[in-house]
Amino acid sequence: MRKEFLYIVLMVLAFVWTGCKSDDQNEPTNNSAVSLSICLPADETSMMHRAGAPRRVMGDPGSYEKFSLPKYIYLFIAYKDGVNWKVWDQITIDDAEENWVKQYYSGSMMGNGDSIYRYTKKIIKPLAAGDKFEGRIYAIASAKALTFDATLTNSSSTLNDLLALRFSTSSSTIQQNLQHIYSTPYNYEMDDQYYGSFSSIDRNVPSISLMLYHVAAKVDITWSVADSARVKAEGITPIRLTTMDACNLFNGDAYCFKPMENSMAAPLTPAAGEGDTLHIITPSDEGLWWEGRSYFYTIPYTTTGKAGYFPLQMRMATNGTATYCRPTIYLQVNTSSPFVPWLRATFNVKQPMTASTPEYTKDY
C-alpha cells in the first residue's frame, strides 16, 4: 500500500500542476478526484435586509471597503493514515489575481445568498480509482506572497504541524495588506466535522466549495469632543483632539488557520515605547479635531493578563500639546468563534488630556 501511495503522490503532483496552470489539461486520467472551488466574501452594499441594514457575509469584518483580490493561493491537503492525520500535498498558485469572478453564493457555508468572489480556474486533485480515502483541504489566499515559519514535509508532517503553521506579519508589506489575507478556519464545522473535509469511496468524485475568511480583524474607532467643550466659555478651555495613535499592534507570527488563537503576554507599556504605531489623527488634520471615524486591520490577539480581550493601546493628546494620555482599551472577543471579530471603540473627550488622565476608560 505504501508503494502505491508514493506512486499516487508522484502522479498527483504532475496532474495538479497542469490542472492549475492550463485549462486544456485540467482533467485527471481516472474518474476519482477532488474538485475544489475557492470563494471569498464580497461586500454588497446594494443588497439590503428588510430593516435596511447592509448585508454582510458572516465571518467577514470588512464592509464598504475595496479589497485587493488574492494573487497567491496556498493549498494544504491532509489525509488520514489509519488513525493518524498526515500532510499529503502542498500546492502554490501564484497567478490567481486575474481569475476571480463576482457572483451570488448559494451553498451550505455561512453567507448564503450574499455576494462572493469565486476562483474560476478548476483545481482538481486526482486520487487512485477505487481507493478509499479520507482527507481535508486547508487554504490561504493573499494579495502578497507569505513567508511561513515552518516547512512541511509530506513524509513526516502531521495535521498538528499543519494547524500550527504561522505566517510572518513583521514586514511592512504584509502589515499594509492584512485585510487582503484569507484562510479556512480550522474550527469551522459542518455536520460535526471540519468543513474542508472530503472522502473518496470507490469511484465517487467529491466536490468541495471552500469559503475563505479574513484572518485580520477590523478595528473601528469613533471619537467625539463634547459639544460643550468645543467653544470657549467662562472657565472652559476649548478642546481639540490633535493626536490619536494606535500603538503596539501585533507584529509577529500569526496562525494561518487559528485566527482567534493568537496571543501575547501582557501588552507592552505604551509609556515605554509605542512599538508599531498607526497614526489616526495628527495636529495638521484640522477636520478631525472634534469628531471622526477611522478603521484599520490587525491580527486579533488576547493577553494573558486579561483573557478574552484584545488590548487596543492608544496615544492621545489635546490642543497640540506633547503631553500624552496613553489609555489601553480592552475589547472583548469571542475566542471560540471561527471568525475574526469586528472590534469597535468609542472615545468621548470631555476635558483636556494630561499624563495623569485615568487609563482603561473610554470617557475623558
Q: What is the pLDDT of residue 114?
A: 65
The b-or-e profile of 11-31 (16+ CB within 10 A means b, else e) is bbeebbeebbeeeeebebebe
Q: What is the pLDDT of residue 304?
A: 79
Q: Which residues of the chain have pLDDT under 70?
A: 1-33, 43-65, 107, 110-114, 127-132, 200-206, 233-235, 266-273, 355-364
CA atoms of 123 and 36, how far apart (whole Å): 5
The radius of gyration computed from the CA coordinates of the chain, to the nearest angstrom, equals: 24
Q: What is the pLDDT of residue 49?
A: 36
Task: Determine how β-strand 197-200 pairs with β-strand 133-142.
Answer: antiparallel
Q: In the chain, what's the furthest Cα-to-Cα distance?
A: 88
Residue 62 CA to chain centroid, in angstroms? 10
Q: What is the pLDDT of residue 53?
A: 38
Give the predicted TM-score (pTM) of the model.
Answer: 0.81
Closest to 247 measured CA to CA, from 176, 309, 314, 169:
314
Closest to 91 measured CA to CA, from 168, 27, 38:
38
Q: Which residues pair with 181 in a beta bridge?
A: 142
On the CB side of 249, CA atoms within 13 Å amount to 21
Closest to 278 measured CA to CA, from 302, 248, 301, 253:
248
Q: What is the pLDDT of residue 235?
A: 64
Q: What is the pLDDT of residue 272?
A: 66
Q: Tens digits of per-residue pLDDT, 191-247?
A: 899 999 988 655 556 678 888 999 999 999 999 998 888 877 666 778 999 999 998
CA atoms of 250 and 302, how far apart (whole Å): 10
Q: What is the pLDDT of residue 93?
A: 93
Q: What is the pLDDT of residue 15?
A: 32
Q: What is the pLDDT of residue 244?
A: 93
CA atoms of 244 and 248, how far apart (whole Å): 13
Check if the beta carbon of residue 299 is closer than 8 Å to that of residue 215. Answer: yes
